[in-house]
Amino acid sequence: MAPPGPRVVVGLLAAWRPLFRGRLLLVTNTLSCGALMAAGDAVRQAWERRLPEGADGPPQPMDLRRTARMFAMGCSMGPFLHYWYQWLDRLFPAVGFKDIGTILKKVLVDQLVASPLLGAWYFLGMGCLEGQSLDTSCQELQDKFWEFYKADWCVWPAAQLVNFLYVPTSYRVMYVNSMTLGWDTYLSYLKHRDHLPGRLGIASHTD
């Protein structure tokens, strides 16, 4: 099949551009957050459903309710991220390498404020959607937060440096979402690993 011609590409870009303007930008950011978090969970479940070599019987069916909860949680984070990046850009206006000091401040504030807030939001929100008690959700957050936050520092400072250096404000959330499929797969694992059969679990309980 021949690649699309320039007119097709230009037409697609023109069709998508309104989704990143005005009120539609909030909707785009919200739904894309939900969709990517659901996709990350689907990838994780596909891995969990793999049978070990020599095992009998069909794999476990995909848990669509779990994926729906991940979608809802992602959608709940979308508006926060939408306004968070707008606020950061107003507080620390910066363009390109000439403002690298200001951009590094933005990365640091993002890591010290947004990352832990979103981590707590994720574990407490998912616990609520699963019907956990608040005490159980808080205990899970306490047990898993530092593992989450250390992994966050390994991934997101570099990704956000690129974000703040090169990506226009209206595309920041979409950029983050495009980077999060692997991250959301990890979040799904971290949240649900306690419920996996022993043959699928990763030995993080013995760390």
DSSP string computed for 6-65 = HHHHHHHHHHHGGGGSHHHHHHHHHHHHHHHHHHHHHHHHHHHTPPPTT--SPPPPP-HH
* Continuous segment of H or E residues that includes residue 164: helix 134-166
Question: What separation, in Å, do the N-terminal and C-terminal C-alpha atoms of the chain show?
Answer: 50
Tens of pLDDT along the chain (207 residues) come to 444 444 543 444 455 566 566 678 888 889 999 999 899 889 888 887 775 555 555 667 888 999 999 999 999 999 999 999 999 999 998 887 888 999 999 999 999 999 999 999 999 999 999 999 999 999 999 999 999 999 999 999 999 999 999 988 888 888 888 888 888 888 888 888 776 555 343 333 333
Q: What percent of the chain has pLDDT over 90?
A: 47
Task: Tell me which DSSP letter residue 170 carries.
Answer: G
Q: What are 3-38's pLDDT values in tens digits? A: 444 454 344 445 556 656 667 888 888 999 999 989
The type of residue at 167 is V
pLDDT of residue 11: 46
Q: Are the beta carbons of 106 and 116 closer than 8 angstroms?
A: no
Looking at residue 56, its pLDDT comes to 59
0.85 surpassed by pTM: no
Beta strands in 62-178 (DSSP E): none
What tokens were used for 105? 């401040």
Sequence-distant (6+) residues with CB within 8 A of 103 are 92, 94, 161, 164, 165
Q: Are 66 and 192 in contact (CB under 8 A)?
A: yes
Closest to 86 (Cα-Cα) out of 18, 27, 32, 25: 25
C-alpha to C-alpha distance for 166 and 172, rounded to whole angstroms: 9
